[in-house]
Structure 1
């Protein structure tokens, strides 16, 4: 697929790994909370990027051979918040690029809304997207199902085929395809694209494909 820029009327951004450099922190939190786990953050990223939390928890339980307990999500979320407070950053040039893109925009994330607002607030991105924040938890549907992106498009008043999804994960790209939307992969230097992916991609926000030749980023 090549981008048809002239058809794009709305930008739908994923959050973790797309706007903010949070994937290592999110996966490291599992390692911190489950000391018996012999997977490191790099392994979790390579195998579970974009996968919903309940499925990651199930895989960890299978790996260690025991339940993580009913309170695991609370303990995990608390550790993520601690790591975010001390280390979370937006990707370079995100703020300048988003400001330069003269299109309606929103965020559609698999994370809960309070986590979205926390990371956006820490990185100064919240004013650029609020109130257009859409969470899988609000509609009880997760990528690679298309429901979240379709929900976001409807809320933004834009037809699916006029939306461009910016994602970093295989499940996110599959969800965009299933929703009938254009898609663009954020794959920073040193990251691996989803297996078999050969679609449009970018590595640095300063070279975001929709920026005009005279954009100041």
Structure 2
């Protein structure tokens, strides 16, 4: 089902989750449904991001196809920073609530010597002051695939309010700075995308029973 230019689908194979291994409640047996209310940002133009849910309710993934930030030759002034905000409507079985326990980000980076990049993410529920925000920094020279994992401590988990349907927001950003590299002759870039769908962002869910 396509909503707002983003597809919401079910994965054919289960993904490894962290909920059971970390002592949280076993995920509910009933299927969760994630509708994408809105998608906005320079890193995820309409039709370039897809959301998929694992059959065991332990994770969901987001796959991008045009999420690239760059500086240097061939770049526009605004290309150094790309972002994406996903506004998700997560329908969970009655009596349960969820939180994002971890997130795995992947992509490819080519950073010239002296260039740097940063990947940021924040998570919050609509109308809630509680926000989990994490970032990772990379330095050149680098020409390889990259991976970063956000692990949220149990005490810092932001739980969905029990008995209320509030949209869940995920804001991501990648930013590349030329630093001391020669941006008049070289290009540095960082991607969080995949043309074949093999690279994606995985969000691991923690579950607990509502009081």
Shorter-chain TM-score above 0.5: no
Structure (1 or 2) with the greater helix fraction: 1
In the superposition, the TM-score normalised over structure 1's length comes to: 0.31
